[in-house]
Amino acid sequence: MNQPIVITMGDPSGVGAEVSVRALAARDPDLRRQVRVVGDRPTMARAAAVCGLDLPVLAPDDEGDGIRVEHIAVDGLPETFGVLSPACGEASYRYIARAVELTMAGEAACIVTAPINKAALNAAGHHYDGHTGMLAHLTGSKSSWMLLASERLNVVHVSTHVSLKDAIGRATTERVLETIRTGHRHLKRMGLASPRIAVAGINPHCGENGLFGREDDDAIAPAVAAAKAEGINVEGPISADTVYHRAYNGAFDLVIAQYHDQGHIPIKLVAFDTAVNVSLGLPIDRCSVDHGTAFDIAGTGKANHVNMLAALDYAARMGAAARG
Cβ(17)–Cβ(99) under 8 Å?
no
Q: How far apart are CA 7 and CA 293, in angstroms?
A: 15
Q: Is the pTM of this model over 0.95?
A: no
Q: What are the respective helix, strand and coil percentages of the chain, to the nearest 5?
A: 45, 15, 40
The pLDDT confidence band at residue 290, using thresholds 50, 70 and 90, is confident
Cβ(201)–Cβ(164) under 8 Å?
no
Domains of the chain, CATH where assigned: 5-144+282-320 (3.40.718.10), 146-268 (3.40.718.10)
Cβ(200)–Cβ(243) under 8 Å?
yes
E-only strand ranges, the chain: 5-8, 35-39, 57-58, 67-71, 110-113, 145-149, 154-157, 197-200, 234-238, 254-257, 276-280, 286-289
The pLDDT confidence band at residue 167, using thresholds 50, 70 and 90, is very high
Q: How far apart are CA 311 and CA 288, in angstroms?
A: 6
Cβ(16)–Cβ(293) under 8 Å?
yes
| Residue 72 clears pLDDT 60, i.e. is over it | yes
Region of 299 please: left (phi>0), alpha (psi -120 to 50) or beta. Answer: left
Q: What is the mean pLDDT of residues 89-97?
A: 97
The pLDDT confidence band at residue 324, using thresholds 50, 70 and 90, is low
Q: How far apart are the first and last CA of the chain?
A: 12
Give the residue from 88, 90, 71 showing the smallest Cα distance to 79.
88
Q: What is the mean pLDDT of residues 130-140?
A: 90
User: In the beta sheet, which residues pair with residue 238?
Assistant: 200
> Which 8-state DSSP code applies to residue 175?
H
The pLDDT confidence band at residue 322, using thresholds 50, 70 and 90, is confident
